[in-house]
Structure 1
Amino acid sequence: MEERYRTWCSKYMRSSPAGLYCFYNGSGDNGDAITCSEAHGYAMLIATLHGNQADLDGLLTFFLAFRNENGLMKWQVRMNKHHQLYVDDDANDCATDGDIDIATALFLAARRWPHGSSMFPAGAYEAEAARISDALLQHCVHPTLHVPLLGDWCNTDDKQNRKLYDSTRSSDFILSSFLLFHMKHPNPHSRQRWQHVLESTLKCALDQLNVHRTGLIADFLVYDGKHGWRPTSGKLLESKHDGDMSWNACRTRRAFIAPAGYLCYVLGDSKGQQAAIRAMDDEESEYFGDSIDLVIAEEAMAAPYWLS
């Protein structure tokens, strides 16, 4: 596992005056963007689960430098030709899943390193985790449906925004994190609210068993009072595949394989697990797949104490 971690770090971990970040734009498709909150959440989870406190501290420092007015991470950070970091006006909003992962990493870090570090004193990890999870409750959870919103930018200003407000994205269904927040948040009221989020999101996911015979969950689901949660029809936010199981529901090629392999591991299906490992070895290296692969591997190693 140490070799896998070091290989991943050499490809994707970068340093800057603001701290460490996960470089996610190797293809160059996103111009001069260097990272996003999703990538940063993956990196913080990986560092914590692997037990690298120095990396976690560097990543936390970067996060603190790029919080928006709601205390959540600005979803994309760029670097200009002078190597200066900046954020476009349309990137100041958050993307819910990144902040969920960041808060998760910090709750786990609080348990792993209760005495803090030279950069962050005892109690700092837990305090920041609690603050982020409360910001998520305030800005990224639907107040009546109790499932994750698409981000802190959601509003009900007009008909289209109302539709987006009453939508949810399956990449934000991070149930283990909701359970962790319910168990570890220091405030009883917040713990109760996260239990409600966990139960509502789980019901939303399980209801899809009655929608599609495969039981697979679409990228985006839309709520209406008559039918409940259903896959969106056509493009809702990103593409014509928003109503399918696609990039958000399970990301990309390696990302489809790694969760299935982990399920085989949990169920004791060694043959299926080994088939998944071989399939991943055949895939080309890229940020999404490599990061999700390593997150799942680290979580598998940490499973015995994840919620202890």
Structure 2
Amino acid sequence: MNITLPAIECLACPIDGLPLVLSEMGALRCPKNHSYDRAKQGYFNLLPVQFKPSKDPGDSKAMIEARTRVLNSGIFDPVCSELTDLIQTHWPSQRQRQYSAPAVLVDAGCGDGYYTSRLAREFTASTEINVIGVDISKWAIMAAARTDKSVCWLVANNKRLPVKQGSAGVITSLFGFATWQPWGELQFPGQTVITVDASSHHLLELRALIYDEVQQHDAPDDKDALDAGYEKVQEVPLKYPVSRPAVQMLTDILTMTPHGKRANQQQLHSNHDFSIAALTIDVTIRVYRKCG
């Protein structure tokens, strides 16, 4: 495993928040002797049983496999490119990072690590930014760790990110659930959260096939972020078509998202050979800075 030392130095025990140190045996240990072994795939499980909302939380193995196929097709690459530019623009300055060094990028809810790995390749080679990928699904982190040994992969709960206070220069949350209050307590002024959320026309053509009535939902509002002490500093709408997506891709999108479970099953069955001319990708990317 080729995890960078600066990333390890930013980790904190999920139970007591004390610093974690990598032992000679390769386990992470805090001063109170809470210990976390490294899995054979190269990741650390920092999700104690008392913080697990269910026996097997997060996305299933089938959902992760479907997501991997969809993301590897490249249809979300423009999202990744825009995200990369925004991180470079809004990475906290040296003055803002005086509280803690080194600072890391934490991808909260990283899934199979598709975006995380690309961000790591972009930043590790050209900057001092190190990357940590966190997901509550063990299947997601196992898949991520198999494909990229340079990132520090963690099974953990977004509500209790296992990093030291002030060490997360940027937290990214892509199509996930931002936990604003815990992150607001974790980050220092000047540090940022960047979210990517589905907008009203996201996957519209596919949703029209599987729902009797399509409801258009806007991206979440800013209230929770503002209440947690953040200010919105930039918002970027991104919308583009994907031409003639394959049936397998559409099926995988249903599998990897809640739409497959919510769909009218009779409608879904009748459209099992569906095809569409284009599929709309419609997202909103927002940048929030911790005030203070």
Q: With structure 2 as the length reference, what TM-score do the two structures score?
A: 0.29
Higher share of residues assigned strand:
2
Q: With structure 1 as the length reference, what TM-score do the two structures score?
A: 0.27
Higher share of residues assigned helix:
1
